[in-house]
Structure 1
Amino acid sequence: MLAFPLMEPARRASAAGDLSRQDPITVVVELGRPDGRHAFEPNRLRFETGKLYRLVLRNVSSDPHYFTSDEFAARIFTRKVQVTQRQPDGREVTLAEFKGSIREIEVYPGHAAEWWFVPVATGRITDLRCGIVAADRRTHAEHGMVGEILIE
């Protein structure tokens, strides 16, 4: 039988690479435009493996929007997704938190979600899109709401 030495709790908590101790790098993406155009702003994102990110998805339009990418989901470890709401006094409060594998987040008009993740695999991701169907029966992606993500 193999025996593994027990680590002291203090040594375990201060181990190098402890993601719970990293300060997140905040990246904000606006979903849609106030004038009604369908777009991600910015529509090109860059991340590095091993770093903790807090991706804030803020819907600034009057339509709901998706942030969807199967390729992105396959190359990251999701720590959590939070639904937040700005209070009249300016404070952000968390309304809900989700954990596990996430590949698509829908954000309603005037609201935001936070996706906390660590990239674990490099690559160029070209399937970022919004699949909401507009009144003309075309998706927001067909109207130009697409993007690219680079993980280095």
Structure 2
Amino acid sequence: MFVSYRAAIGASVLFGLVSGAAIAAGDLSRQTPIEVTVALGSPGKHEFAPKQLKLETGKLYKLILRNDSNDPHYFTSHAFSAMVWTRKVQVTQQRDGKTVTLAEFKGAMREIEVYPGHSAEWWLVPVAAGRATDLRCDIKAADGKAHADLGMTGEIVIE
């Protein structure tokens, strides 16, 4: 009886260590984010670059939305926002060669506007596979057309 009690305790401890390791492996706060940069236009051009993003479920991404153009731009996709869990969105600025965080937002995001010469970082985890074909910028240009009408559309594929 003493031997089987000791074996049972040992098995319980071993099982606890193994299941604890499995839980830690899924801890999103310990993942190193995969950086993906999207250019929101460039001087004289209304486009997302790249035009198509490919992401995987269960991985932490830092989606860097960089606007090097002279116009503000939206990164809008209602379908995409329904397929991800947002950890945070940070507004950043370059100062003396370093990235400085100016503001941080938490909760569901569907649209992010980035002003000329600035960036935002969307920390997210895709939780559902699918294809979001509604990525667009709906800001109006001087001629009254939306940037999306001028080619600023895209697609996000989550596998």
**TM beyond 0.5:** yes
1:109 to 100, 111, 116: 116
Match of 1:92 among 85, 92, 99: 99
Aligned pairs for 1:30-69 (under 5 A) are 30-34=39-43, 36-69=44-77
Give the 4+ runs in structure 1 shifted more than 2 A: none
Deviation at 1:46, TM superposition (A): 0.2
> 1:16, 1:26 → 2: CA distance?
20
* 2:76 partner letter: T
Structure 2: gaps of 5 or more residues: 1-15
Instruction: Read off the aligned partner of 1:146 and give its amino acid letter.
Output: T
Aligned length: 141
Task: Determine the structure 1 residue equivalent to 2:86.
Answer: 78
**Deviation string, structure 1 residues 22-79 (Cα, Å, up to 9, x no partner):** 0000000000112x11000111000000000000000010000000000000000000
Shift of 1:146: 0.1
Tell me which amino acid in the other structure corresponds to 1:55. Answer: L
**Structure with greater helix share of residues:** 2
Cα RMSD after superposing both structures:
1.5
Q: Give percent identity, aligned residues only.
A: 68
* Deviation of 1:15 (Å): 2.0
Unaligned regions of 5+ residues in structure 1, if any?
A: 1-6
Residue 128 of structure 1 aligns with which residue?
135
1:148 aligns to 2:158 (yes or no) = no
Q: Give the structure-2-normalised TM-score.
A: 0.86
- Report the AA paired with residue 87 of structure 2: R
Which residue number corresponds to residue 26 of structure 2?
A: 17
Q: Which structure is larger by alpha-carbon Rg, 1 or 2?
A: 2
What amino acid is aligned across from residue 115 of structure 1 in structure 2? W
Q: Which amino acid aligns with 1:16?
A: A
